[in-house]
Amino acid sequence: MDKLKIPSGFVLVEGEIPYWYGRMSWKANWVLLLLGVLTIFLFGLGIIFFIIAVLRVYASEYFMSNKRIYVKYGIIARHVFEIKNEWITGTAISQGLMGRILNYGNVIISTPGQYAGSVIMIGVSDPMNIRTKIEELLRRYKERSKIEEKIKELEKEYEFGRISEEKYQELKKKYEEELRKYL
């Protein structure tokens, strides 16, 4: 996997592997850009619209790893959310007419009560693809969790003397190989 960008001020925890990085799409700022073009000659007003669009794009950062999802946006008021993968209960897409035409939209990540029940990645390009990435991330997370639980159970069985060291090593090696598939 290519080395992905990490959001500014974000620190990876032990064993965390970057999965996806993105920002708000320029397409999500089409109104500001259009107003900028239309008003460029009106006392420089157009430049203000361009600056706001640039700030909106560069103030947003979205990041997924094998352990969590990070969402940051906002020019004046900053909103930062960090969601552990085990907290995610579902995803949804919100797209208006222009969003459908230009292929941008909001990805809504549902959580059980955390952050008022949902976190939104605002104005991302190709939101259906991002939703698919989140679903794949969750599937991999759940599979990894099942295998980690099997390893814990295996260690207990070995500690209690219910299985031989040879069988323990054999099964542990098998589970660790399975685990590597889901990193």
Domain count, the chain: 1
pTM value is: 0.82
CA 113 to CA 159: how far, in whole Å?
A: 39
* Residue 98 reports pLDDT greater than 60: yes
User: Given this model, what pLDDT does residue 73 score?
Assistant: 93
In a domain, 145, yes or no: yes
In a domain, 44, yes or no: no
- Segment 147-173 mean pLDDT: 91
Instruction: Please provide residue 47's backbone torsions phi and psi, each rounded to the nearest 5 degrees.
Output: -65, -35
Instruction: Annotate 80-102 with b (16+ C-beta within 10 A) or e (fewer).
Output: ebebebebbeebeeebeeebeeb
In a domain, 168, yes or no: yes
Q: Where do the DSSP E strands lie in 85-150?
A: 90-94, 104-110, 118-125
* pLDDT tens digit sequence for 121-141: 999 999 999 999 999 999 999
Q: 68-73 and 61-65: which strand pairing?
A: antiparallel
Give the domain range for residue 148: 139-181
User: Given this model, what pLDDT does residue 1 score?
Assistant: 40
Are 85 and 139 in contact by the 8 Å Cβ rule? The answer is no
In a domain, 157, yes or no: yes
In a domain, 169, yes or no: yes
